[in-house]
Amino acid sequence: MTLFACKATLISSVSFEELSIRKDSYIIVRDGMIEKIADRIPEEYRDIPVHDYGSALLIPAFSDLHLHAPQYVQRGVGMDKLLFDWLNDYTFPQEAGFRDLAYARAIYLQLIRDLLKHGTFHAAFFTTIHYDACDLFFRMLGESGMYAYTGKINMDSNSPDYYVEETEKSIADTERFLFEHKDLYDGRVQSLIIPRFAPTCSEKLLKGLGELARKYDTGVHTHVVESKAEAAWSRELFPQYASDADIYEQTGLLQGKGPKIFAHVIFPTEDDERVIKKYSCISVHCPISTNNITAGVMAVKKMHESGYTIALGSDIGGGHRTGIYDVISSAVQSSKLRAFYLEDDSRLSLANAFYLATAAGGNVFAENIGKLEEGFRFNALVLDGMQDKGREMTPEERLERFCYCGDDRNIKARYLNGKQIDPEEVYERLKRL
């Protein structure tokens, strides 16, 4: 049994609109779970160890709901290109290299270390079509202590000759992956079915994957209405379906109990909206990425108010920043541009975006992840060093400055599953896998 307390200024989301700020408070942690929060140490805990962080901020760890793990090595490269040129000129050739397990290992090691450095402890990952590399990544995630959804990508159509699957093999490899990776790591890392996006999948493949979704009761992670061009291409290739999201409903991919993660959802039609709400799909806002590829800006506030479930994603490597705190600031910035050009009320506040990055995102992994509240898992970050000498800042101002100006050097301590971790130590341990 482990029992300790942390003293700091606690910031956590109450709701989409409201932050809870508790100055100079104590958070009691027993066996990785938050047992009590108090203004002073209760008598029954007076002899336990206390990690006193003074005036530093203590916040929930971040969640990244859409990240292309193999594209980590591409971040910040080819950012002057539009989506399809970027995929063909950079992404597909680079991802094809993951047939080399040594190459995959080197990239995935760096990615996991960087995520932990920047405070992302929960993430949903795309990978590649290569079974062995996907298996290695799954095991790395499990040993790292992170919470994750991952799997093997499926793509048998409209893909380069050097990076495409045979339909039956894609289905067979996906079933093997689902079977061999179930019930591992106490459920912290789970498999999802990952059709890259509708244009790179045949109807036969999608229906085969739909049968697996029902058989293994699992979820799906894909791209939906990522851009106007992608949505139009999907409708051209699948004219028998009402919309991009309808393709996944009608082929059976939304029948399992696992999460249904739809990246981007920038231009949903009424048919898309019907499907997304019917199956409680998570729409992932990736503002840095969609700015880079000029895809558009999700109507986050309007969609939230109308009942969409929304979280944030880095979309590495379309997005060039690892830290979700950078995505928080970008979400606010993008919303202000949308409001300016459309003359509507689509501006997001810091509280709105912070909620999407912590409480909303964490809830996709477990009901007790993403907040600093009693009964929640203690996955948390200690932040400091944002304040200038000679001027006092409120806790909310310091949090905002971290999201706009901070980096991993401002994260003074990291708690994952109630244990303080060092990303470098995790990196060295994973190298031995």
pLDDT tens, 15-56? 999 999 999 999 999 999 999 999 999 999 999 999 999 999
Q: Percentages helix, strand, coil for the chain, rounded to the nearest 5?
A: 40, 20, 35
Residue 354 shares a structural domain with residue 273: yes
Residue 335 shares a structural domain with residue 349: yes
Residue 71 shares a structural domain with residue 99: yes
Question: What amino acid is encoded at 47 in this protein?
Answer: D
Diameter over CA atoms, the chain = 68
pLDDT tens, 223-267? 999 888 888 999 999 999 999 999 999 999 999 999 999 999 999
Average pLDDT over residues 341-349: 89
pLDDT tens, 267-300? 999 999 999 999 999 999 999 999 998 788 999 9
Look at residue 345 and tell me whether its pLDDT is greater than 90: no
Look at residue 83 and tell me whether its pLDDT is greater than 80: no
pLDDT tens, 395-427? 999 999 999 999 999 999 999 999 999 999 999
In this structure, what CATH number is given to the domain that contains residue 55?
2.30.40.10
Is pTM beyond 0.85 here? yes
Token representation of residue 417: 């599953």
Residue 42 shares a structural domain with residue 191: no
Residue 299 shares a structural domain with residue 153: yes
Task: Label residues 43-75 b or e (16+ Cβ within 10 Å = b).
Answer: eebeeeeebebeebbbbbbbbbbbbbbbbbbbb
Residue 211 shares a structural domain with residue 349: yes
Residue 214 shares a structural domain with residue 277: yes
Q: In the Cβ-directed half-sphere of 287, how many Cα atoms lie within 13 Å?
A: 27
Categorise residue 366: left if φ over 0, alpha if ψ from -120 to 50, beta otherwise: beta
Spatial separation of the C-alpha atoms in residues 26 and 274, rounded to whole Å: 44
Residue 23 shares a structural domain with residue 81: no
Q: Which one, of 217, 144, 133, 137, lies nearest residue 183 by Cα? A: 217
Query: How do strand 147-150 and strand 120-126 relate by DSSP bridges?
Result: parallel
Spatial separation of the C-alpha atoms in residues 251 and 207, rounded to whole Å: 5
pLDDT tens, 112-128? 999 999 999 999 999 99
How high is the pLDDT of residue 294?
A: 79
Residue 55 shares a structural domain with residue 79: no
- Cβ neighbours for 431, distance < 8 A, ≥ 6 positions apart: 109
How high is the pLDDT of residue 47?
A: 92
How high is the pLDDT of residue 78?
A: 82
Q: Of 328, 363, 398, which closes a domain?
A: 363
- Cβ neighbours for 72, distance < 8 A, ≥ 6 positions apart: 107, 108, 110, 111, 114, 316, 317
In this structure, what CATH number is given to the domain that contains residue 79?
3.20.20.140
pLDDT-based confidence at residue 82 (cuts at 50, 70, 90): confident
Count of the separate structural domains present in the chain? 2
Residue 50 shares a structural domain with residue 104: no
Q: What share of the chain has pLDDT > 70, as a percent?
A: 100
Helix (H, G, I), strand (E, B) or coil at 298: coil
Look at residue 428 and tell me whether its pLDDT is greater than 90: yes
User: What is the span of the domain harbouring residue 157?
Assistant: 62-363
Q: Of 340, 363, 386, which closes a domain?
A: 363
Average pLDDT over residues 177-196: 97
* Ramachandran angles phi, psi of 196, nearest 5°: -55, -60
Residue 387 shares a structural domain with residue 354: no
Q: Which one, of 218, 220, 238, 219, lies nearest residue 230 by Cα? A: 238
Residue 234 shares a structural domain with residue 381: no
Q: Of 363, 391, 408, which closes a domain?
A: 363
